[in-house]
Amino acid sequence: MTQILLATVLGTLFALGTFLVLRRDVVRVVWGIAIIGQSANLYLVTMGGLSGGAPIASHGAHGFAEQPTDPLVQALVLTAIVIGFGTTAFALVLTYRVYEEHGTIDTYKLGGEGS
Amino acid sequence: MAPDGVALVTAVFLPFLAAPFVVPATRLLGERVAYPCGIVAAACFGLVASQFGAEGVVAFEWIPSLGVALRLYVDGLSLLVAFLASGVGVLVFVYSAGYLHGEGEQPRYYASLLVFMGSMLGLVLAADLITLFVFWELTSLSSFSLIGYYQRESDSQYGARKAMLVTVAGGLFLLVGFVVLYAVSGEALAEPTYALVTADGGGLLDNADAVRETLRDEGLLIPVLGLLAVGAGAKSAQVPLHVWLPNAMEAPTPVSAFLHSATMVKAGVYLVGRFRPLLGSPEWEALFVTLGLATMTVTAILAVAASDIKELLAYSTASHLGLIVAGFGFQSALGAETGSLHLLNHAMFKAALFLVAGIVAHEAGTRAIDDLGGLRHDLPITAGVTVVAALGMAGVPPFNGFYSKEFLFEAAVAFAEGAGGLAWLVPAVAVFGSVFTFLYSIRFLMLFFGDRPEGLGDVHRPPLSMLAPAGLLGVVALLLGLVPQVAVDLLIGRVFEGVSSTPGGGAAHRVATAGVAVPEAVPGVEAAAAEGEGFTVGLPTKLSPAVAMSAVTILAGLAAYPFYGRLRDGIRSVLAVGPTTVDWWYDNGVEGVETLGRRTIDVVQTGMVRTYATWAVGTFAALTLAGYLAAGIGFPAISGVGPGVTRPIVLVLLLAVVAGFAVDTSPSHVAGVLTLSILGFMIAIFYILMDAPDLALTQLLIETLVLVIFLLVLDQLPAFYGEIDRWIAVRDVAVSAVVGLTVFLTVAVSTAQTPDPDLPTYLADTAPVPETHGSIILEYGGGGNVVNVILVDFRAFDTLGEISVIAMAAISVLTLLGRRTVGGSE
């Protein structure tokens, strides 16, 4: 059941993100990219296994209290979250600049159709 | 005598070093900058000459990890072409001073010419395939710049682009051939090598037999031959890649004389000569004899149809290059003699003729053949040079071209005697092509004889700087014709050795592998001398088949000359329309590619984000699903309730999905941002529940920041919602559903697999035990948080990259916000 639940949740989130990316409104496109990025992170973390303690060894006890989860995926995803933030912020400011330059955030008009 | 490395490297790189100084020198000297450039060329000539008599290789490290070195090799062949490149270079610089008088953009011209000369020297001296390739393409590049000297004229642009496309594309074939040779050398020799020759005999040419046999065993001999033939054929204008050479004549005439007669086009035949000992075989003979003779005949016929003196010379150049290629193609000693001798002969008479053409065009103001005639009264010295050079080109004794053409006839007859049957076509075609050569040579000569046409205006005397180089070349051509044995003894004999035997002095394989023994009884007087000792050349003293062939050529030419006009019109009418037009294939090919490109852009680049996104995600989904289908992966069996899913996790995930739907259906930007934030925070809580405290912290921080930034930006944006068209919505839902389904399958399939047990076991087994691997995280890393230790110690460069991305994003944001006032286009 775990797999089905995870697969359904991730599939739905990806579908919702894709739908947003296909919208006319540039802001919604940015949201779509953000949702897809978040979902991908989620997927990576679940690949490390759902059970296990935090991968933190205490100095005093010399070791983990219980078997830790995979720290490698967490390190990867941490980097990914930060970079995702960078791209989202950049995309937003780009949107703002596009509005300043063209006076619209409608991708149809920006793409030349109906302009 | 071993070659001097310093002298060779200086000769190659001096022109490159001098090129940047042309611009400041022009400011100082004006048009007289041609002379210092000529001095550079003369210095190169001197440095090359100082290596006269040397033979061997010098190597400098370049990219040792890839086995690429700057290896320079001196033997007869490389010396000859290096002499041509630097010697004709001197004359061309001097000539340009007169020819380009009053033209603009001279610094670019002289700098390109210097770069070209250096590239050519590097090309012929290179003993490393990669070095050779680099210089090979450099000659194409500098040639592009020189052909396009008259930048604003569409003919120049067309010619330059055409030359570039054909020769550079050919060079890429060559590169593939070189890489195949490299791969094969790994099997034939101890280790793979790009070196043609090395000091310790480990190069490709040193082990020619072994490499050739390995190639044959692998079935790669014919592919490699084909690749080299395309590369060399593109450079040396062999049929059907000859089409660029006539258009290259848009270049200033000294460039045509230098690049497109004496040097650059010689690069292709040089390559054929250089690889002859390595790849010489019956296949080689069949390929290059066919290629050479076809080129020689076809382009000679095209030359007869030419209406412009430079066009005539261009086709004639291709024709003579075909002769050299055919010569190098024959596996008999006579073939090597043909190629080596004609390499020098052609450079001399053709460079002289180009310089003559330049003088005629410059002084008479036209290059149209029909408008010119009787120029001997106006240009007596030039006429003298033309007599020597044109008769040499025609192959009339005792002028220089006669001897190499005799060798070609002898080689063709020997080949035919050995192979029999259809091979007798070879001498027949050689004679047929030579008749046309004779015809157009005489036509060029007749520019100076006969009557002056009415329309020809005043013809001025050429300046000394233009006359002297042409005269010098004419004198050399004359001497080559009168005492050819001197040239053979000095240099050509060694060229002959270079193209017929391997550098180690190894026995030449040519006769044996060709299966065509040169009969001792070939009645030709100039039978091959003993191997490795050059050969003899001279006027024939008794009747042989070759002499008869020469006689037939000249008599047939003389008989046909009165019908030159009708012949020319006939050829032109054949060439007038359709696929037989010279440029038909090239023009339609290039135009087709351009049209295809424009149409593809119209379809692919709509300027609509949604089109790109649809294609991108659609391709991603299709490829993934196709991959599952191909691999036969089905939906995994699900058994029982998996581990680790607690009620809070289910709840959090469901909330995240609900938030996602709320984002998609949000009526306003603010509502969307807030629900997006809910999604983000749910994911943060999920991380907490997953025992990933670092991720949760980061996610919380970032979500907060993103919310703030979104709200700040949204304040400045209009409330545009974009009403949804019903059909577009249906389509988008379908696309999204496909993506969702793909992800669903992927997650189900991938999480059904048990992860490699090594990694968790590694941590479980080692981390709690400090005396073994536990020390890595705790003591070496100096921290208890494994994720942190990974980020700052084990993958520190990744983190550095991450920081750089953030910094770049920040700089871009600042630029986007700040440049507005500066750029100000409102």
**Which residues neighbour B803 within 8 Å (Cβ) at sequence distance 6 or greater?**
none
Interchain contact, B760 vs A67, CB within 8 Å: yes
Q: What are the tens digits of pLDDT across the range B166-180?
A: 999 999 999 999 999
pLDDT digits (tens, 9 = 90+) for B410-440: 888 888 888 877 888 888 888 998 999 999 9
The least confident of B467-481, B503-517, B548-562, B710-724 is B503-517
Nearest CA to B57 among B572, B498, B607? Answer: B498
Does the pLDDT value for residue B518 go beyond 60?
no
* pLDDT of amino acid B824: 46
Ranked by mean pLDDT, the top range of A49-53, B137-141, B204-208, B631-635 is B137-141
B717: chain A residues, CB-CB within 8 Å = 27, 95-96, 99, 105
More confident residue, A8 or A4: A8
Q: For residue B624, what pLDDT is reported?
A: 93
* DSSP assignments along B441-470, one per residue: HHHHHTTSSSPPPTT----PPPPHHHHHHH
CA nearest neighbour of B127 among B46, B185, B70:
B70
Q: Tell me what pLDDT residue B825 has.
A: 47
The least confident of A9-18, A55-64, B121-130, B358-367 is A55-64
Residues of chain A positioned with their CB less than 8 A from the CB of B684: none
- Asked if residues B514 and B282 have their Cβ atoms less than 8 Å apart, the reply is yes
Residue A82 Cα, gap to closest chain B Cα (Å): 7
Report d(CA A29, CA A26) in Å as an integer.
5
Most B-contacting residue of A81, A88, A105 (CB-CB within 10 A), to test interface? A81
Q: In which band, very low, low, confident or very high, does the pLDDT at B826 lie, cut at 50, 70 and 90?
A: very low
Lowest mean pLDDT segment, chosen from A61-70, B194-203, B410-419, B812-821: A61-70
More confident position, B201 or B225: B225
For residue B356, is it within any domain? yes
Q: Which residue of B has its CA nearest to A104?
A: B718
Q: Do A20 and B657 touch (CB under 8 A)?
A: no
Computed over every residue of chain B, the mean pLDDT equals 84
Three-class secondary structure assignment of B30-90: HHHHHHHHHHHHHHHHHHHHHCCCCCEEEEEEEEHHHCEEEEEEECHHHHHHHHHHHHHHH
Greatest mean pLDDT among B24-33, B197-206, B288-297 lies in B288-297
Tell me the average pLDDT across A80-99.
91
Cα gap A23→B154, rounded to integer Å: 46
B389: CB partners within 8 A, 6+ apart: B348, B349, B350, B352, B353, B356, B473, B474, B477
Averaged pLDDT, B58-70: 85
Most A CBs within 10 Å: which of B625, B743, B754, B777, as the mutation test of the A interface? B743
Cα end-to-end span (Å), chain B: 74
What is the value of pTM for the model shown?
0.72
For residue B629, the distance in angstroms to the closest alpha carbon of chain A comes to 19
Residues of A in contact with B716 (CB under 8 A): 96, 99
Determine which of B628, B727, B739 to mutate to test the interface with A (most A C-beta atoms within 10 Å): B739
Count of structural domains, chain B: 1
Cβ A79–B798 below 8 Å, yes or no? yes
CA-based angle B561:B566:B571, to the nearest 5?
A: 105
Mean pLDDT of the B58-78 span: 85
Asked if the model's pLDDT at residue B581 lies above 90, the reply is no
Domains of chain A: 2-49+69-110 (1.10.287.3510)
Chain B residues with CB-CB distance to A72 below 8 A: 759, 790
pLDDT band of residue B639 (cuts 50, 70, 90) is low
Give residue B525's pLDDT: 34
Query: Tens digits of per-residue pLDDT, B770-791?
Result: 554 555 666 667 777 888 888 8
Least-confidence region, from A49-53, B284-288, B403-407? A49-53
- In percent, the amount of chain B with pLDDT more than 90 equals 21
A92–B709: do the CB atoms touch at under 8 Å?
Answer: yes
Of B349, B352, B446, B441, give the one whose Cα is nearest residue B404. Answer: B349
Q: Is B785 within a domain? A: no
What's the confidence (pLDDT) of residue B714?
Answer: 87
Tell me how many degrees the CA angle B691-B694-B695 measures, rounded to the nearest 5.
Answer: 80
**More reliable by pLDDT, B659 or B370:** B659
pLDDT of residue B231: 92
Write out the residue range of the structural domain in which residue B391 sits. Answer: 281-578
Q: Are B254 and B110 in contact (CB under 8 A)?
A: no
Is a pLDDT exceeding 80 seen at residue B526? no
Pick from A17, A39, A86: which is nearest to B805 by CB? A86
**Inter-chain contact B764–A68, Cβ cutoff 8 Å?**
yes
Q: Do B698 and A82 touch (CB under 8 A)?
A: yes
More confident residue, A19 or B544: A19
Assigned domain for B368 exists:
yes
Percent of chain B with pLDDT over 70: 90
A57–B784: do the CB atoms touch at under 8 Å?
Answer: yes
Q: Is B164's pLDDT higher than 70?
A: yes
Residue B792: Cβ-neighbour burial (10 angstroms; 0-12, 13-18, 19+): middle
Contact B722 A24 (CB under 8 A): yes
Judge whether B565 lies within some domain: yes
Residue B598 domain-assigned?
A: no
**pLDDT reported for residue B656:** 93
Taking only residues 34 to 93 of chain A, the set having a beta carbon closer than 8 angstroms to any beta carbon of chain B reads 34-35, 38-39, 41-43, 45-59, 62-64, 67-72, 74-75, 77-79, 81-90, 92-93
Which residues in chain B have Cβ-Cβ distances shorter than 8 Å to A43? 743, 747
* Beta carbons of B2 and B56 less than 8 angstroms apart: yes
Of residues A71, A89, A108, nearest to B787 (C-beta): A71
Q: By the 8 A CB rule, do A74 and A45 touch?
A: yes
A59: confidence class by pLDDT, cuts 50, 70, 90: low
- Whether residue B527 is predicted with pLDDT greater than 60 in this model: the reply is no
Does any CB of chain B come closer than 8 Å to the CB of residue A109? no
Contact: B640, A49; criterion CB under 8 Å = no
Q: What burial class does residue B64 get, using C-beta atoms within 10 Å of its C-beta: 0-12 exposed, 13-18 middle, 19+ buried? A: exposed
**Do A27 and B672 lie within an 8 Å CB cutoff?**
yes
Half-sphere exposure of residue B32: CA atoms within 13 angstroms, side-chain side: 2
> Among B42-51, B472-481, B604-613, B769-778, whose mean pLDDT is lowest?
B769-778
pLDDT in tens, B211-258: 888 888 888 889 999 999 999 999 888 888 888 888 888 888 888 888
pLDDT at B818 over 60: yes
In the predicted structure, residue A54 carries a pLDDT above the cut 90:
no
Per-residue pLDDT band for A114 (boundaries 50, 70, 90) equals very low
Alpha carbon of A57: minimum distance to chain B alpha carbons (Å): 5
